[in-house]
Structure formats: structure tokens, C-alpha cells
Structure 1
């Protein structure tokens, strides 16, 4: 199935919004009946995944912060959401969730479709996305993808790949996309379908754990575009109580990020405790590799940032300019209009020395304690072309 042009102007909001007889907007067309926004606002704050699953290392800051008590008495929930790649913004828009974690491409889908969302905590300071190739078929110059087929887990991911390729000088009109399904698109590539597939940091290590070994063009080494971010309804920033809640909630994430940076193995243990089957399938060393890949993305060049979650507006503006040029959005977007750093100072206002002490004092299990961290770090990019 050729998914070209499905994203660009191919879907209206009527596709996923439904008005019930009582006049209540829901997202039931997406199977969202399990999600309900609290009538009292943030009595229960729901974060929704962009992947359709929580059994990954990507969300380690939350699980580490939860384990260490960094969220205090906030009533928080994590939901996997549907595997539809745009559900993470759709659900926030209609009030079925309170915060989503879209890629910049999916965020642009929200903007294009009139969703009044704002990015408040930029997790992905470096470009997490990569292009996977079968062993021996990797390419340093992505212009080689012209005339080729790229596999995606969701059709919505075209909005991720198009700007990444365009920024590398690729004529995206000459690239075909095939939706190979979640979570099977990597297996499809290994099985000989398509020429390449979208991947990202952290997933590289998780794929190795399942026997999928590829060569990679890495965005974290070659791209200046931003990566996934936390978005909320823009109106929530106008509500003083919700704004205060958001600041405290994001402080928990920032502390979890700091804890994971100081003691990656402890943060992996926090995730594994939540998902025993995932732990068994991944293992301590590859789990640690996955987390280190993501810490590299989330941290970025911290000397040039004003803390965890800080938006580099120049990077975001370059992204919005690129997607306007290729027609992914029809109107120009000013980064400052849709991205905000107003919560970043408060989110990073925590006792860094205490978090470091917590990380240093954490007692690792024997299987994690024996991991050679220097060896893991030395081989993090062995599969890069």
C-alpha cells in the first residue's frame, strides 16, 4: 500500500471526532472509550503514549520518578493509547488525555488540523529518528532512497520521515511509503520487504534484543531537527491551577531524567519492575544500552540548554520552515506561537544534589551491577553507517 500523500492534506478532523447525542465530543472512532478526562481538571492527570504501548524504555524518567517519589502526591496515569500514530495529539485535543508525546511531524499534523495544542517540555533535544537498513545495505547519503520504499509502523509516521529526508536533500516525491504495521514493520524489513524502515534511539537496542540487527543512518549524528515533545491544550496554560500542576508534574519528569542520567542502570530497573515480560525479553545490558541512547537524545548539549525540556526555538523554527516548504503545513508557523519555555524554570527547580545522592545511593541488583558501563558506551554506535 503506497501511503504517499496520505498525510499531506489527506485527513480531516471529522475523521476522528464524533459528537454524541448528548453533544459531547469523543474519540470513540479511535477506540478511546477507555480514556476519560476528569471533570475536575487534573484530579487524575493522564499522559498518553505515541506508540500504542508502554512496554518500552522510552518513558524511563516517569517510572524512575514514580519509584523515587518525585511526583509527590500528584495523581498521575500513563496510558498506551491506540497504535494510530496521531492518537497522542487527538486524545489531548478532545480532552481524553491531558498530555501527549508526539514527534514534531505528528505535532505538525495537529497544527495543520487546527488543534489548539502547545509544546511545553521538549524531551528530544537531539533528533532521535533513524533509518534502518538490512545489514550491508546501509547508506550514508539518504538521497539513495529516491526510488526506494520506506516501511512505517503507522501511516502517520510519513510526517516524521518527510522533513528528515527533505533536510538531507532528498526529493521526497520519489520516496514510497508502506504502512507495515505496529509492531511488525521492523520484522517486515528483515524479511525482505521494502528497502529501509523508520527507527529511533532506544528502539535500536530493543530490536537487537528481538533478533533484528540492522545498519543505521542516525539522526542523532546527522540531523539538526528536534525530536518528540510533550504537548498540552494551550488553554490549560491560561488556567493558574492547571499551570501550577503542570509545572510540578514536569518537575517530576525532570528529576527522573536527572536520576536516569546519573544512574542509568537504576532507571532501567524501575522500568523492568513495571513490565516483567519486557524485562525478560530485553535483558539488563540491552536495556541499559537503550536508555543510554535515549539519555543522549533527551539531554542534548545541556551546556546550551536552560534545563531539561528547554526548547531551542531556532531548531524548531528550522523544522517548521522545512515542513512549510515541502507542503506538510499550508501556513507558516512561528515556533514561539506553539512552543513555550514558560514552565522550564519551575520544572528544573529541584535539588539536583539530592537527586544525584539518590542515584549514587541506589542499590543495584547483582545482574545490573555487573554490567560494564564503559563497554556499553563504547559500542553504542557500532551499527551506524
Structure 2
């Protein structure tokens, strides 16, 4: 029995689903008929989700019935769909997660992917600066209006008066080309995307959050009730273990992880190529891994840092009521997710046979120049 579900968000924010194929309801063999993960960006043809595709290729998800959905490009869809049950896990930025909490969505962060701040401010070459207070009175371009909830905290912790910054929704995926064309002063970017933009002829300079921001990046959220259901909790532990193994595999052999994504998306492969693909994934591994010596494993939440974030966005009036971090983020899945044979994953990664084009990619050279696009220190 085949089934395709098209998820939509109306202008009023109402979520609907149209199901094509199949007939009637099926008995559930697992806690989830099909576990659906939804992207925050309206596309799956990116390298951001490499742990899933690498993990799937290596068999780390076993026989779990799982599905990846791109979702709409509306920046808040990733939490709306989870809230109403049309998806089971979303990947929002902390700001979009807080939007869901503010609007009464009973969500909980189960696996913190982005230990470091992935977000950046892109400028045309020669026009960037390191003091973000200079953005006051200027225009920042966004792909979605919902992304303001990402940028406001990032600027706020740098002392920027966010009421003096103008945001313009320039659309997905055209907000970067709008910056190049001179339609704004700066634009939101993120790690991994920097390399993809180069492939599209969009070579900017950046204030890099991964170097300068005390904040962090996107996280996996689920319905809070699912964390209290024993069967669903057991499923989530297995599912997140697949992601953790995929992250470990990519860390041990980033070029192999890129190949796994490229096999899934040939158009992405032809657009990026092995070198830029590897550049993109190395940027993201840096974000996802963070300082692992201070973390409890892949996906671990720094509860104190989350509390600082929630306190800051309350100060900025991004949320109306204070949020207690331990009520909405949990590390209960981190131990089980990281309970895998790391020696086996390393052996898998070391034993992977790269194609000739990927063998030619110099990972050390890319790593040495990973931050060359940063705004010069003297500006």
C-alpha cells in the first residue's frame, strides 16, 4: 500500500494534510504508523541532514519506518506540523522553537543538533563589519519573515538595538541573490550554506556566529506527550541513535557522508561537487559537534545555556512569559542515543571506499581555510 502526504500551511497558520493513495486506516505495528521528520527549510536537497542519509546508507536506522519531509518554506511550519500531529519531529532554530512555545505548542527538545551557533550575517565583499551595532538603521534580508526570531536574539546579545534594524522578506531561495543585487545591506546565512552559495556564484564575507556568538543552533523537537509514552520513548531512543551514529560516521569520514547525500540527490551533487560538498559538511560538523569534551554526547543540551537563551529572548520581548529550560528541553534521550558501538562506526567509516573524485579532496586543506570568508578583524 503506497501513500503520499502533502502538508500545507494556510496563510492563517492552519495545517492541513492531503493523502493520496491508500484506503482507510491501518493498524499500527509500532507507536508511529510512519515516523515523519520535517525540515525547517522547505527542501531536503542540502547537506545539513547528512547524518540521516549516511546513517540510512549504513543501516543504522535498522527497520524503523521513518520518513523525511521537506515541508513548506514557511519558517514556522517545522513546529506547527509537529504540534498538530502531521509530523513527529521538527528541526527548528531556537527562535522558532520559542515561537511554538509562546503560542501554546506542547513541544520538547529531545536532541540538540547545533551545539554552536550556525547562523551568520552575510555582506557583499568589502562591506562587512565586526561590530553588529552598525546594523542599526540598515536592512537585513531574510528568506522567511519567521527568521526574524533567529536574528533578533543573535543581534540582541551583541548589544544591537533590534528596533532600529529593518527586516525584509526576500523569499526562499532568492534572499541571497537579492543581497548580491544590492537590495539590502546584509542577509542571514549559516554554516554549510556558505559553501553552497559559492557554488551558485554568491561569494560574500561574513560575521560568523560560529566564531563570535554565545548562542547555538537548531534542535530536534517532538510533542512533549511523546516523551511520556513508554512505547514512543523507546522508538525515539532507537531513532535518535541512528542520527547519533550518522553524526559519528560523518565526523570520522566526512567525504563518505557527502557521498551518501550526493547519491540521494544527484542534482545537489552536480551543483556542488566533491570539494564544496566536503567544505559544506565540515562547516556543519563543527556546529553539530561543538566542544564534545564538555558535552554528554551527540545531541546533549547545555541546560544553563538554554536558560540564558530563554532569559534573553524574554528580555527582548520575543516571548511574553519566562520559560524554564528544564521544562522544555531534556537530556533523557542522550544516553540511549549515544549507546552504540563507536569502534564499529569508526571501522565502517575507515573501511568505506571513496570514489576517485572524493579521494582527491584534501580535508586538511579545507579545514585550514574554513573561516577565510570572515570579515577581516580590522573592520
TM-score, with length taken from structure 2: 0.93
Shift of 1:378: 1.0
Check if 1:51 corresponds to 2:36. no
Q: Which residue is 1:228 aligned to?
A: 218
- The corresponding residue for 2:282 is 292
Aligned to 1:23: none
Q: Distance in 2 between matches of 1:323 and 1:86?
A: 17
For the Cα contact (< 8 Å) 1:146–1:174, is it kept in 2? Answer: yes
Cα distance, 1:256 vs structure 2? 0.1
> For 1:15, what is the secondary structure of its paired residue?
coil
The answer to whether the 8 A contact 1:158-1:177 is kept is: yes
Note if 1:33 corresponds to 2:18.
Answer: yes
- Aligned positions, number: 361
Instruction: After superposition, give the CA deviation of every residue in 1:10-40 in whole Å (9 maximum; x if it has no partner).
Output: xxx99323xxxxxxxxx12xxx435999873
* Separation in structure 2 between the aligned mates of residue 34 and residue 286 of structure 1, nearest angstrom: 37
Distance 1:112 1:365, change over 3 A: same
Give me the CA root mean square deviation: 1.5
Q: Runs ≥4 in structure 1, deviation > 6 angstroms?
A: 35-39
Residues 252-277 of structure 1: CA deviation (Å, up to 9, x unaligned): 00000000000000000000000001
Could you say what secondary structure the match of 1:231 adopts? Answer: strand
Partner of 1:3: none
Contact 1:38 1:44 in 2 (8 A): no
Q: Which runs of 5+ in 1 are unaligned?
A: 1-12, 18-26
The within-5 A match list for 1:299-314 is: 299-314=289-304
Paired residue for 2:56, among 63, 66, 77? 66
Q: How does 1:341-380 map to 2 (within 5 A)?
A: 341-380=331-370
Q: Distance in 2 between matches of 1:75 and 1:114?
A: 29
Match for residue 159 of structure 2? 169
1:91 aligns with 2:76: no
CA contact (8 A) 1:120 1:341 kept: yes
| Closer/same/farther in 2, CA of residues 284 and 324 from structure 1, 3 Å limit | same
TM-score (normalizing by structure 1): 0.92
Deviations 1:91-121 (A, max 9, x none): 0000000000000000010001000000000
Structure 1 residue 45: deviation in Å?
0.6
CA distance in 2, matches of 1:376, 1:227: 23
Contact 1:206 / 1:282 at 8 angstroms: preserved in 2? yes
Partners of 1:375 and 1:198 lie apart in 2 by 27
Partner of 1:198: 188
Matched residue of 1:353: which SS? helix
Using the TM superposition, give the Cα deviation of residue 298 of structure 1 relative to its aligned residue in structure 2, in angstroms. 0.2
Unaligned runs of 5+ in 2: 1-9
Between the aligned partners of 1:38 and 1:95, the Cα distance in structure 2 is 16
User: In the aligned structure 2, how far is the partner of 1:196 from the partner of 1:33?
Assistant: 38
**Pair 1:16-2:16 in alignment:** no
8 Å CA contact 1:52–1:82 kept in 2: the answer is yes
SS in 2 for 1:69: coil
Instruction: Give me the whole-angstrom Cα distance separating, in 1, the residues matched to 2:261 and 2:115.
Output: 22
- Structure 1 pair 332/255, CA: closer, same or farther in 2 (3 Å)? same
- SS for the counterpart of 1:283 is helix
Deviates more, 1:218-227 or 1:262-271: 218-227
Distance 2:116 2:206 in 1: 16
- Taking the aligned partners of 2:363 and 2:119, their CA distance within structure 1 comes to 24
**Partner Cα distance (1:108, 1:38) in 2:** 34
